[in-house]
């Protein structure tokens, strides 16, 4: 069941992987997110000549989700053409945790065909939080 959804998200991310803008690192990354409402949102990494302005694929996808009025990612797939699956960077972990600290994270490399599945709780056990009413 969850395996089928993960496969669908990997396909959705692979679809947009050619849109990744990564002329500096050459590492192309795409993300696809399934929400509790059953919607899917996509995003790619977008680099910049001012390297620090680079945006990761996962955050692009999360911002796309919020822009469209969805708030709870259930599965976040991260697909890359790098030789190994890419785990979300620290900033992306914190941004995903804002919306679901227990999201499933599926990482896939189109090069090695390796798939790694984990949970954000494992990757970021204590996200920074501010209490909300």
Residues 19-43: b if buried by 16+ CB within 10 A, e if exposed = ebebeeeeebbbbbbbbeeeebbbb
How many residues lie near ligand THU (CB under 6 A)? 14
- Residue number, 14 or 130, with CB nearest to ligand THU: 14
In Å, how far are 23, 44, 62, 125 from 9, measured between CA atoms? Answer: 25, 13, 14, 24
CB 120 within 8 A of CB 100: yes
Q: Is 98 a catalytic residue?
A: no
Among 9, 16, 17, 47, binds ligand THU (CB under 6 A): 47
- How far is Cα 20 from Cα 38, in angstroms, rounded to an integer? 24
**Piece of 33-41, 55-63, 67-75, 102-110 that binds ligand THU (CB under 6 A):** 55-63
Q: What mask of x and - would describe binding to ligand THU in positions 66 to 105, judged by CB under 6 A?
A: --------------------x-xx--x-------------
Among 42, 45, 104, 109, binds ligand THU (CB under 6 A): 45
Question: What is the binding site for ligand THU (CB under 6 A)?
Answer: 22, 25, 27, 29, 45, 47, 54, 56-58, 86, 88-89, 92
């Amino acid at each position: 069941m969850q395996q089928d959804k993960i496969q669908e998200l990997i396909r959705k991310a692979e679809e947009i992987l050619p849109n990744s803008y990564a002329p500096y690192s050459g590492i192309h990354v795409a993300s696809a997110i399934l929400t509790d409402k059953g919607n899917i949102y996509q995003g790619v990494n977008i680099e910049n000549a001012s390297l620090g302005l680079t945006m990761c694929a996962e955050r692009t996808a999360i911002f796309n989700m919020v822009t469209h009025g969805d708030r709870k990612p259930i599965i976040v797939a991260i697909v890359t053409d790098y030789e190994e699956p890419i785990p979300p960077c620290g900033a992306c972990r914190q941004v995903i945790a804002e919306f679901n600290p227990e999201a499933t994270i599926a990482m896939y490399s189109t090069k090695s065909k390796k798939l790694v599945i984990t949970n954000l709780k494992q990757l970021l056990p204590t996200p920074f939080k501010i209490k909300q009413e």
